[in-house]
Amino acid sequence: MSQETVAAKRYARALFEVAAQQQKGLEVEEELRAVVTALDSDPDIRKFIATPNIPQSVKMDVLSKTLKGRVSEPVINTMELLLNRGRAELLGEVLNSYVKIQGESQGMADATVYSTYLLNEQEKQQVASEFGQLSHKKIRVNNVVDESLLGGLKVVIGDKLYDGSLAGKLERLEKSFRV
């Protein structure tokens, strides 16, 4: 595990503890996700934050004025801490770690479901229900269209892959013939 990942987990854990004390765990997750999305979608903002000539205090002043009233103090404080320590690039990893920590505290897990087409809400609920029973957690489904699949689904929950795709089944069948 890289030092950046370890550091991101520490920041995420600290942010989660503050959010949990204020009973705003999910709200902070949504705010953090919005900040990361905004930063990722605007190359000018990324460039502004990454420019070493601009003092950290100026960067934080601009971000504070922009975020004030839109996100909570814990998120602003985390941003300030990351900027002051020259670790703003960790924000995406902090979000990923925070989501995992928040999910674990709520008995939730995120599932990435790969399918040949976009699943409708009923299909997502069915997948969430079936894999929820399997993992004993409440499942949040993130659907990804993968046209390389011949059919079926591939589901990734944490570090586990459940391959119910047609290609996966054919591969397992082929291996069984070789044995």
Domains of the chain: 3-103 (1.10.520.20), 109-178 (3.40.30)
**Residue 42: partners with Cβ closer than 8 Å, 6 or more residues away:** none
Q: What is the pLDDT of residue 179?
A: 66
pLDDT at 1: 59
Sheet holding 108-115, edge to edge: 138-145, 108-115, 154-157, 160-163
Given this model, what pLDDT does residue 136 score?
86
Does this model's pTM top 0.85? My answer is no
Walk along the chain (179 residues) in steps of 10 and give the mean pLDDT of each run: 82 93 91 89 86 86 84 90 87 90 85 91 92 88 88 86 79 79
Question: Helix/strand/coil (H, E, C) string of the chain?
Answer: CCHHHHHHHHHHHHHHHHHHHCCCHHHHHHHHHHHHHHHHHCHHHHHHHHCCCCCHHHHHHHHHHHHECCECHHHHHHHHHHHHCCCHHHHHHHHHHHHHHHHHHCCEEEEEEEECCCCCHHHHHHHHHHHHHHHCCEEEEEEEECCCCCCCCEEEECCEEEECCHHHHHHHHHHHHHC
